[in-house]
Amino acid sequence: MHKHLLLGVEAIGQGAIDGGMSGVYAYPGTPSTEITEYIQENELAIERQLHSKWSANEKTAYETALGMSYAGKRTMACMKHVGLNVAADAFINSAITGVNGGFVLTVADDPSMHSSQNEQDSRYYGQFAMIPVLEPSNQQEAYDMAREGFALSEETGVPVMLRITTRLAHSRAGVEYKPVLDENQLSMPQDPRQFVLLPAIARRRYKSLLDKQASFVKLSEASKYNQYTDAADKSMGIVCCGISYNYLMENYPDEACPYPVLKISQYPLPEKQLKKMEAECDSILVLEEGYPLVEEQLKGYFAGGTPIKGRLDGTLPRDGELNPDLVAKALGKETYVGIQVPSVVANRPPALCQGCGHQDAYEAMNEVLADYGKGRVFSDIGCYTLGALPPYETINSCVDMGASITMAKGAADAGLIPAVAVIGDSTFAHSGITGLLDAVNEKSNITVVISDNESVSMTGGQDSSAYGKIESICEGLGVDPAHIHVIVPLKKNHAELVKLFREELEYEGVSVIIPRRECIQRASRRKRNISRHANH
Amino acid sequence: MKSNIILAGVGGQGILSIAAALGTAALENNLYLKQAETHGMSQRGGAVVSHMRISDKPIASDLIQMGTADLILSVEPMESLRYLPFLSAKGYLVTNTTPFVNIPNYPEYEKVMEEIHKLPRFIAIDADRIAKEAGNARASNMVMLGAASPFIDIDFAKLEDGIREVFARKGEQIVEINLKAIRAGRQFSEENK
């Protein structure tokens, strides 16, 4: 059968389309972004007019997907791990409302923090919400689980989480497609009160969620994705979750693994298989990408009995992603290292592109802030976060989406005046607006710089949902129009930028400065596309 | 057959175009393939690496084990050295000699080349110059793929087919330039290995 070379994230996009999904809702975030991009460009998705436009943030994405599920259609929400923090309120409650049309939440975790502030493990969220979690070990399973996840959600009556990590998200392999399923017809929930979480109804629905838990375990025990492979050497049993299964197999290229292996790709944990392993093996080694979730559970299950090895007892590192070498060491195998890296090799951290407008904004800010002293610039998530590094070193914080404006307000409340916020256009739309409203209501003495490159750039130049609306949003929130300024960040405007920053830092109240120039990467892509179309 | 290849470079240098041509050729040969890429923050001018694995048997891990890479293919000389712990005892290093200097502490060029020349098996090629001679400086990545091709167990004709497929939508002229580039790169390696 023909195989298609797909990234793990693309396999999920294709699987969702083939599974009869009617709409995807997402906010860009590495390593989840390409799922939605894939659907946006897919021919069948375009022909079926599947929804695939970006949402303003993960919470709006999740809630909109829930609305589509309410109306009986199959839907997917996609986000990176920290995005689920933003959507957590809707997510946890949606386990209690349950679904009508099948609902798959794809969450992409980023162990080792390649492009993130933390490496939180979304499987805890799945456990917290008490819903089934799928964790593919390869691209084919990613495709299959996305395609079949809607049916699992409809069967169980709750949203299903599809959890992946960076390595699977951004690795390519051949994937075989399966037949394309029809979309669901529009249909109302059978119980008109299903989605009304008034306390009396919520209590009843919560009990029904609790009642389902045993059946979720049964589903895991019977799942084709959870495989028990027996072997002769019972001195150790190995539990491997998701992609860690591959790292185990890599260590036995020409032979079968001598120990019994339980591959887990569907949660809650399959109790029957785990109990068998505990009864038959002298110890259990747990391989999992992320936090030691399974290891902790097993330590509880088998308290005082079978020794459990993994990230908690030092057999594997407590943090960071796994790889075949770390797993080899945990198995007591010899590992090989080539030649050491010569000392002449220097680090090459990411940096703002040459000619990026954020650079001009930071140069002007640095000149003005030199008169006030360091440590008063609160920033946010985006390319401009690189302004924390040399040569600029302008900003002093990066915590979560939108925290620049609110932290600047808090610091100003404490007496740090002037306090400055630097936020991008898309991050402002995502989570900056409500913080600015707080500041306006209290006439806080802060200067907000919305460094506008008309794009969600760090994730590859997606459309920003506040495009063309930023001044009117600020005015609508009550910022004095005399203190909303738009300026083009270019070298030739440096003196003007400096003058503007100086004036607004001195103004006692909320001011907004919008340095606006299109992201140079997006501009060059746009020009290339125009010339390509012109050639044909 | 089995090839473990580390592709190295700097975000924006387009190492993924090499991976695409190679991957297409592998699929055409009905080989198994896994290829882990770097997306996200590092693409902004940082060090980027792709682990590419091609085999006639199913492949387990997306990542290459230390000391088992048959080839390091780097489009930038300092970046070629960053992944030496992955190189196997019999492995080849193939690198472009044109430095990409976007950091203030980039080492002295001679010291970088000195480290490369210490290796038992390497090809150091001025891919930018050869690409220019082939008709387009932007084809330097295909010169690099050509230079690496003697060390990859895939029919050279299939690699050429891979290029035809990857560049087809950009027109016949671009396909020809890239074919010329890969042939020039291969010739250089055949003469200098």
Distance from CA of A325 to the nearest CA of B (A): 6
pLDDT tens, residue by residue, B30-62: 899 999 988 877 778 899 999 999 999 999 999
Distance from CA of A276 to the nearest CA of B (A): 26
Considering the domain architecture, whether residues A312 and A362 belong to the same structural domain is answered as no
Considering the domain architecture, whether residues A115 and A174 belong to the same structural domain is answered as yes
> Does position A92 have pLDDT exceeding 90, yes or no?
yes
Task: Give kind and range of the element (H or E) at residue A239.
Answer: strand A237-241
Single residue among A185, A220, A255 that ends a domain in this structure: A220
pLDDT along chain B (193 residues), means of 10: 94 87 88 89 85 96 96 97 96 97 94 97 96 90 96 92 89 93 96 88
Q: Is A345 within 8 Å of B78 when comparing Cβ atoms?
A: yes
Considering the domain architecture, whether residues A240 and A385 belong to the same structural domain is answered as no
Q: Is A261 left (phi over 0), alpha (psi -120 to 50) or beta?
A: beta
Residue A536 has a pLDDT of 40
Give the angle subtended at the CA of A33 by the CAs of A30 and A34, to the nearest 5°: 125
Q: Which of B33, B44, B86, B117 to mutate to test the interface with A (most CBs of A within 10 A)?
A: B44
pLDDT tens, residue by residue, A458-495: 998 999 999 999 999 999 999 999 999 999 999 999 99
Residue B12 has a pLDDT of 84
* Domain at B143, CATH number: 3.40.920.10
> Is some CB atom of chain B closer than 8 A to the CB atom of A337?
yes
Mean pLDDT of A230-246: 97
* Domain assignment present for B162: yes
> Does position A532 have pLDDT exceeding 60, yes or no?
no
User: Please, are residues A22 and A74 in contact by the beta-carbon 8 Å criterion?
Assistant: yes
> Is some CB atom of chain B closer than 8 A to the CB atom of A5?
yes
* Domain assignment present for B181: yes
- Mean pLDDT score across all residues of chain A: 96
Q: CA nearest A161: which of A109, A218, A89?
A: A109
Q: CA nearest A481: which of A454, A502, A511?
A: A511
> Is some CB atom of chain B closer than 8 A to the CB atom of A341?
yes
Distances (CA, A) of B49 to A196, A297, A340, B63, B152: 50, 36, 17, 11, 18
Three-class SS state of A330? helix
Structural domains in chain B (count): 1
Tokens linked to A112:
């080792």
Distance from CA of A349 to the nearest CA of B (A): 5
Distance separating alpha carbons of residues A512 and A75, to the nearest angstrom? 38
> Is some CB atom of chain A closer than 8 A to the CB atom of B91?
yes
Q: Which of B7, B30, B53, B62 to mutate to test the interface with A (most CBs of A within 10 A)?
A: B62
* Domain assignment present for A345: no
The β-bridge relationship of strands A419-424 and A377-378 is: parallel
pLDDT tier at A535, thresholds 50, 70, 90:
very low
Domain that residue A311 falls in: 227-330
> Does position A371 have pLDDT exceeding 70, yes or no?
yes
* Domain assignment present for B114: yes
Classify residue A211 by burial, with Cβ atoms within 10 Å: 0-12, 13-18, 19+: exposed
* Domain at A234, CATH number: 3.40.50.920
Structural domains in chain A (count): 3
Distance separating alpha carbons of residues A449 and A510, to the nearest angstrom? 11
Chain B residue numbers touching A246 (CB-CB < 8 A):
60-62
* Domain assignment present for A343: no
Considering the domain architecture, whether residues A216 and A243 belong to the same structural domain is answered as no
Residue A106 has a pLDDT of 98
Residue A1 has a pLDDT of 61
Considering the domain architecture, whether residues A212 and A265 belong to the same structural domain is answered as no
Alpha helices, DSSP H only, in chain B? Answer: 15-28, 77-82, 109-117, 127-134, 140-148, 156-167, 172-192
Distance separating alpha carbons of residues A72 and A21, to the nearest angstrom? 11
DSSP designation for A429: I
Give the range among A29-33, A204-208, B162-166 with minimum mean pLDDT: B162-166
Domain that residue B115 falls in: 2-97+110-192
Residue B193 has a pLDDT of 82
> Is some CB atom of chain A closer than 8 A to the CB atom of B173?
no
> Is some CB atom of chain A closer than 8 A to the CB atom of B104?
yes
Chain A residue numbers touching B107 (CB-CB < 8 A):
344-346
* Domain at A29, CATH number: 3.40.50.970
> Is some CB atom of chain B closer than 8 A to the CB atom of A333?
no
Classify residue A12 by burial, with Cβ atoms within 10 Å: 0-12, 13-18, 19+: buried
Residue B40 has a pLDDT of 75
Residue of A nearest to B89 (CA): A338
Give the range among A115-119, A171-175, A207-211, A336-340 with minimum mean pLDDT: A336-340
> Does position A56 have pLDDT exceeding 90, yes or no?
yes
Return the percentage of chain B with pLDDT > 70, whole number. 100
Distances (CA, A) of A240 to A124, A309, B50, B184: 17, 12, 25, 47
Classify residue A148 by burial, with Cβ atoms within 10 Å: 0-12, 13-18, 19+: buried
Alpha helices, DSSP H only, in A197-270? Answer: 199-222, 244-250
Considering the domain architecture, whether residues A389 and A516 belong to the same structural domain is answered as yes
ipTM over 0.90: yes
The β-bridge relationship of strands B47-55 and B32-36 is: antiparallel
Residue of A nearest to B66 (CA): A337
Mean pLDDT of A353-376: 95
pLDDT tens, residue by residue, A278-324: 999 999 999 999 999 999 999 987 777 899 999 999 999 999 999 99
